[in-house]
Chains A and B, each alone.
Chain A
Amino acid sequence: MSEPTATYRFAVNVTPKPGILDPQGKAVERSLPHLGIDGVSAVRVGRRVELSVAGPDEASARSTVERLAGELLSNPLIEAFEIEVLGAAVGTAG
């Protein structure tokens, strides 16, 4: 097995799919009038996971993140995810 040469940093943003009930988003939305704020709607609460992946190149590191995001970090029945590249982190993995 070849040694990983670099570590890449990603973020995975997981959000409820459109149409899926999001009581957290609703609760946030309902609290807004108490702050004296109007005009805010369609609040959806999700989660963000940041992680570093070691690999020979960014593409292979990204495919690892895609697998993780689909199998573990999100439930594809109810959640969608987007992957953000935060840039190559440090030089050598170790």
Chain B
Amino acid sequence: MSVRIGVVLFPGSNRDIDAVNALRIAGAEPVVLWHETADLGGVAGILLPGGFAYGDYLRAGVIARFSPVMRAVADFATRGGPVLGICNGFQVLAEARLVPGALLRNRGLRFVCREVSLLPERLDSPFTREIGERRSLRMPVAHGEGCYYADVVALDALEAAGQVLWRYAAAGGGIAGPDDSGNPNGSLRGIAGVSNAAGNVAGLMPHPETASEALLGSEDGLGIIRSLVVSAAEWERTGSITGARVAMAAEAGR
């Protein structure tokens, strides 16, 4: 039986179908979870898809944070279950304090919709383990508030703890700093995605789920989706995930 992964549907989610499609390609059974439910239906992993949950009113992701399903997702994360937020899903996780930092309005002020090159920082995390080799991954971004921010002390701590999972790649190689053209939104230190301290919750602004089959122009994102699926299967089987720090799983709830 294939592993069941919940895809949370908020009013305003619009990448849920792409998420469902990518999960199927990655060999999982997607289960769509409505935002009003507090019952995750026994899924082994959670994917928060992109879109504009609750119209992005007030701040992107903040209203979604207080929905019944997110309380259940926070409990799931505290138990060590794998949770991946993509784009708006990352914003929801950041507002819910399930991953560190905040996503500010893009530095260039415009909504940015284009392809970027993404560098996985490490290949041993629950969300990068299936990427295979360290190379830049082509996938789209589409957001207005994706500028990753945390203060300098927090950024240093994230880097030291290995919580930066992905960065934007500069056109000439290396990491794209806030003013580099490879960085679509001004994210500090080129950060495109991070995990919590425990390692079982992660978010990123780019869209691996829409780069999961050659027909869509790139399948570079599939390794990230597969990583979620493999980690969910492992968690269901063993109660822990390779690369996640189980002893610190309680941190996930903070």
Q: Taking beta carbons and an 8 Å cutoff, which residues of A are in contact with B?
A: 20-24, 26-27, 72-73, 75, 77-78
Q: Taking beta carbons and an 8 Å cutoff, which residues of B are in contact with A?
A: 58-59, 62, 66, 95, 101-102, 104-109, 147, 149-150, 186
Q: Are B59 and A23 in contact (CB under 8 A)?
A: no
Known: A20-B149, A21-B147. A75 touches B107 (CB 8 A): no
A21 proximity list for chain B (CB < 8 A): 104, 107, 147, 149, 186
Q: Are B101 and A77 in contact (CB under 8 A)?
A: yes
Some 20 contacts from A to B, beta carbons below 8 A apart, are: A20-B104, A20-B149, A21-B107, A21-B149, A22-B105, A23-B104, A23-B106, A23-B108, A23-B109, A24-B109, A27-B109, A72-B58, A72-B62, A72-B66, A73-B58, A75-B62, A75-B95, A75-B102, A77-B102, A78-B149
A85 to B62, CA, bound (A): 25
A23 proximity list for chain B (CB < 8 A): 104-109
A21 to B62, CA, bound (A): 19
A36 to B66, CA, bound (A): 45
A72 proximity list for chain B (CB < 8 A): 58, 62, 66
Q: Are A77 and B150 in contact (CB under 8 A)?
A: yes
Q: Which residue of B59, B66, B105, B108 contacts A75 across the interface (Cβ within 8 Å)?
A: B59
- B106's nearest neighbour on chain A, judged by CB, is A23
A77 to B147, CA, bound (A): 14
B155–chain A nearest beta-carbon distance, Å: 12
B102 proximity list for chain A (CB < 8 A): 75, 77-78
B105 proximity list for chain A (CB < 8 A): 22-24
A77 proximity list for chain B (CB < 8 A): 101-102, 149-150
Nearest 4 interchain pairs by C-beta? A23-B109, A77-B102, A78-B102, A23-B105
A11–chain B nearest beta-carbon distance, Å: 15
A75 proximity list for chain B (CB < 8 A): 59, 62, 95, 102
- A49's nearest neighbour on chain B, judged by CB, is B58
B106 proximity list for chain A (CB < 8 A): 23
- B188's nearest neighbour on chain A, judged by CB, is A21
B56–chain A nearest beta-carbon distance, Å: 13
- B65's nearest neighbour on chain A, judged by CB, is A72
A86 to B125, CA, bound (A): 51
A49–chain B nearest beta-carbon distance, Å: 8
A21 to B185, CA, bound (A): 12
A73 proximity list for chain B (CB < 8 A): 58
A73 to B66, CA, bound (A): 13
Kindly list 13 other residue pairs between chains A and B, CB separation below 8 angstroms, not including A23-B107, A75-B62. A20-B149, A21-B104, A22-B105, A23-B108, A23-B109, A24-B105, A72-B58, A75-B102, A77-B101, A77-B102, A78-B102, A78-B104, A78-B149
- Which of A21, A26, A27, A73 is most buried by chain B, counting CB atoms within 10 A of its CB? A21
A23 to B150, CA, bound (A): 17
A72 to B96, CA, bound (A): 10
A73 to B106, CA, bound (A): 20
